[in-house]
Structure 1
Amino acid sequence: MSDLLLQATFVAATFLLAGVVKGMIGLGLPTISMGLLGLVMAPSQAAALLLVPSLVTNVWQLLAGSGCGALLRRLWGMMLGICLGTAAGSGIIAGGDTRLATAGLGGALILYALVGLARARLRVPAWAERRAGPVVGAVTGLITGATGVFVIPAVPFLGALGLERDELVQALGLSFTVSTLALAAGLAWHGAVPAASLGLSLLALAPALLGMAAGGWLRARVSLGAFRRCFFLGLLGLGGEIAWRALA
């Protein structure tokens, strides 16, 4: 089997698994994709591959319900912070120092896994939300630009706003959509989105959507609590492996 076919098979399997996770718990596609692809390629290449599947699946999640406009009016400061932070940090993942970006990717996965395993019940008071949103967005953007992972601290912050379940799912979709677009713009600005990567990213969309459908089917048949614990433990080990290889 040729190296190109092996790579394409690995990419398809990665996005299939990432889609299953997203279909079950509403997030995890870019995190799983960046983590697994980061084992075999530079973070900038992995980030370029996730652009199309991430954008399509998150727009789908965003538009799945009503109230998108109200969420955007409420969270516009956070979204602006994500854009500015990603623009500032994208030079790291697109730069020549892949060791720094890889170590950052491993660290982001470890941090996200620890937050998920802790299951801390946080609550942001209404008076602090408007001030904290842009700061959280900027930090999320910096991490996105440096590592391609856009869940910390955005996901815990959105979970602490007291949103209803459907609102939270849409808010996550909004955050991830903006992060994906900002990352795409940052990579393109630094010339880190080759045409070949975009073609492979488009091909990765099919397994990602298939995985999401399978994850939705499994959601009613598998204990989500046990699945989440396994997911975060696996992510912890994956992040540790990536960070160890980068720093060893």
Structure 2
Amino acid sequence: MALMDTLFITVVFIVAGLVKGVTGMGLPTVAIALLSLRMPPLSAAALLIVPSSVTNVWQLAAGPSVYPLWQRFKWVMLAICVGVAAAGWLGAASWSGAVLGLALVGYGLLGLSGWRAQVAERHQRWAGPLAGAATGLMAGVTGVFVMPVAPYLQALNLNKDDLVQALGMAFTIGTLALAVMLTLNGTWHATAAGASVLTLIPAVAGMQLGQWLRDRMPPAVFRRCFFIALLALGAHQLIRL
């Protein structure tokens, strides 16, 4: 069983890294969606701390606008930390499977629909922190950081580079906040940290494969398959509860 678990985790991180390499996002979402087939979502999240942190810092550092983006979105980022802390305080792990299933189904449907919201500038003062807090709460329950901060940032009509960096900032801060929460509740410890370091190898290998594949297939086709797979995994998560 230990060998099978190791092989399963290795394949999961190769696939998740491949998605990240092709689309520029999705490593934690795919990894947790697949790992949760065999373990609780927050245990899966503990394995993701190192590969998620490394790839997100890499994404954050890829452009010149870190400080201006921090100044613009600092209340969103701080709200993410508050949401993660609230999830830990509420002891929300008992219903993490249901929330993860709903999040995957919602994200899959949103991606397939192609719908994008628009947030007027006058509403961003309250909508940003609200999206951040909801994202942190979701991450503290499921380990997934994409909802609703990714749709919120996409609704601001940022240019491509600023959007990629803003997402990298949100995911980096969320991952660090989650690491603190998991350390405090005993899920993140020396054994989990060591395993998380090892998962960086297949994740990077998958990213390299994804970058190679990105030049050889239409990204729109890959994204459609990605969202269909998330929808199916979310539905499976809900059915087995």
Q: Please give the range of the TM-score, normalised by the shorter of the 2 chains.
A: over 0.9
Distance 2:210 2:121 in 1: 34
Q: Deviations over 1:140-170 (max 9, x none)?
A: 1111111111111111001111111111111
**Which ranges of structure 1 fall in alignment gaps of 5 or more residues?**
none
SS state at 1:150 partner: coil
TM-fit CA distance, 1:194 = 2.9
Asked if 1:86 is matched to 2:84, the reply is yes
How many residue pairs were aligned?
A: 241
In structure 1, which of residues 166, 169, 187 is the aligned counterpart of residue 164 of structure 2? Answer: 169
Kept in 2, the 8 Å contact 1:62–1:170? The answer is yes
Distance 2:66 2:23 in 1: 20
Question: What percentage of aligned pairs have identical amino acids?
Answer: 49
Distance 2:131 2:144 in 1: 14
Pairs within 5 Å for 1:60-71: 60-71=58-69
Distance 1:228 1:156 in 2: 15
TM-fit CA distance, 1:33 = 0.7
Q: State the partner residue of 1:209.
A: 204
Q: CA RMSD in A?
A: 1.3
SS state at 2:240 partner: helix
Amino acid of the residue matched to residue 32 of structure 1? V
Amino acid of the residue matched to residue 70 of structure 2? L
TM-fit CA distance, 1:211 = 1.2
Q: Deviations over 1:7-64 (max 9, x none)?
A: 1111111111101111111110000011000000111210100111100000001101
Q: State the partner residue of 1:10.
A: 8
Distance 2:114 2:89 in 1: 33
Amino acid of the residue matched to residue 38 of structure 1? S
Kept in 1, the 8 Å contact 2:16–2:203? The answer is yes
Q: Deviations over 1:100-143 (max 9, x none)?
A: 21111111111111111111132212222222111110011111
| Residues 11, 124 of structure 1: alpha-carbon distance in 2 compared, 3 angstrom cutoff | same
SS state at 2:138 partner: helix
TM-score for the superposition, normalised by structure 1: 0.93
Distance 2:199 2:27 in 1: 12
Amino acid of the residue matched to residue 201 of structure 2? A
Q: State the partner residue of 2:24.
A: 26
Q: Deviations over 1:70-123 (max 9, x none)?
A: 11111101001100001101356774x3xx211111111111111111111322
Asked if 1:241 is matched to 2:239, the reply is no
Q: State the partner residue of 1:144.
A: 139
SS state at 2:166 partner: helix
Asked if 1:105 is matched to 2:103, the reply is no
